[in-house]
Structure 1
Amino acid sequence: MAKKTKVVEVVPYDPAWKSEFGRLREWLLEITGDLILAVEHVGSTSVEGLSAKPIIDIDLVMESYEVFPVIVERLSQYGYVHQGNLGVEGREAFNREQEDGFMKYHLYVCPKDGKGHQEHIILREYLRVNPSAAREYEQVKLDLAEQFRYDIDAYCEGKTAVVHSILQRAGYAGATQEHHT
């Protein structure tokens, strides 16, 4: 099978992202609601007015890793495959190959105090209340999408410095130079 080429596309904010997250949230609560604390809309699509790749990022927030094996089993019953942490501490990625009627999304399972989840929430909240930081981040993403149209890894790596800078400005002491999606 030939490897798919991922085209990096950053598009203007779409209000439909919020309602699509709502549909996904309900679906994921049906599957895991008794095992998790929250379903969080994170990433650029969660920041009103911010251009983004049209992919919804979702954190399923668990109390601790004690319940994680049960979550993996439950999600697997619905076609989700655990992909590991993909290089980001405190964030377990899941993939679903079959068409499920939703727009494209990334699903992560995170402990409530995990680094990956904390960074997602801090970044989202900071961008929501700091329009200049949101515009700065947006411009970096637009520039990177143009420069690395066919290289998602370079695009993501290119965002690392600005994400790190924004997390520091938000007062997050744990900001590192990790790969951000």
Structure 2
Amino acid sequence: MLGLPRGEVFLVPWSAEWGKEFEREKKRIVEVIGQYTVNVHHIGSTAVNGLSAKPIIDIAIEIDYFFDGTQCVTALQGLGYSYRGTNVLPERHYFNKGEPRTHQIHMYQTGNRYLLEQLNFRDYLKSNELVRNEYEQLKLNLSSLNKNDKHKYAEGKTNFVQSILERI
């Protein structure tokens, strides 16, 4: 299942389809903006086997030069993405797709600290079952408490994520 309606927060059990969907979308992205991309990563909880997640595929696109992101807008709009600009989340071009939302793109310049944190956190969860389970329980609790407030849901995860990033 993919798609999170606007204003809702809920988690679904992990699905092997998420990785396949990422690969399909990555191929489409590279076909239209490959000349700008350094790498395309599957990030977020849907990238971690066994972890319940909001049913949205998060994609990180690395580019050499931050300002090249504006050169990619029209091509990504052709794939159904809406460009939300650079002020939604820090130091990235942000795009989303669908209503309900099925995909998000976070476009970073290579070496960006937020990109590195995303990749490090994802990889840590993949290799540490105990922490992955602890994170999943936190997310399940937060999603039930904040069914209509994605910002409170996200804020509730911040301390946990920061504590992990400080360890690794």
* Fold shared per TM-score above 0.5: yes
- Residues of 2 paired with 1:96 and 1:47: CA distance? 21
Structure 1 pair 84–90 and aligned structure 2 pair: CA distance change class (3 A):
same
Structure 2: which amino acid aligns with 1:51? S
State TM-score, norm by structure 1: 0.82
State TM-score, norm by structure 2: 0.88
1:125 match: 123
Structure 1: which amino acid aligns with 2:111? D
Deviation at 1:96, TM superposition (A): 3.6
Extract unaligned runs of 5+ from structure 2.
none
4+ aligned runs moved over 6 Å, structure 1: none
Percent sequence identity is: 34
Any idea what the Cα deviations from partners look like across 1:83-123, whole Å, max 9, x if unmatched?
13455332221134579xxx811111111111221111011
- Residues of 1 paired with 2:111 and 2:91: CA distance? 8
2:133 match: 135
Deviation at 1:79, TM superposition (A): 4.7
Structure 1 pair 98–147 and aligned structure 2 pair: CA distance change class (3 A):
closer
Any idea what the Cα deviations from partners look like across 1:33-88, whole Å, max 9, x if unmatched?
11101110000000011111111100111012242232234334545332134553
Does the residue aligned with 2:116 lie in a helix, a strand or coil? Answer: helix
Instruction: Using the TM superposition, name which of 141-150 and 113-122 deviates more.
Output: 113-122
How much is the aligned-residue C-alpha RMSD, in angstroms?
2.1
Higher relative contact order (CA 8 A, sep 6+): 2
Does the residue aligned with 1:165 lie in a helix, a strand or coil? Answer: helix
- Residues of 2 paired with 1:14 and 1:98: CA distance? 20
Any idea what the Cα deviations from partners look like across 1:119-165, whole Å, max 9, x if unmatched?
11011111111111111111110000011111111111111111111
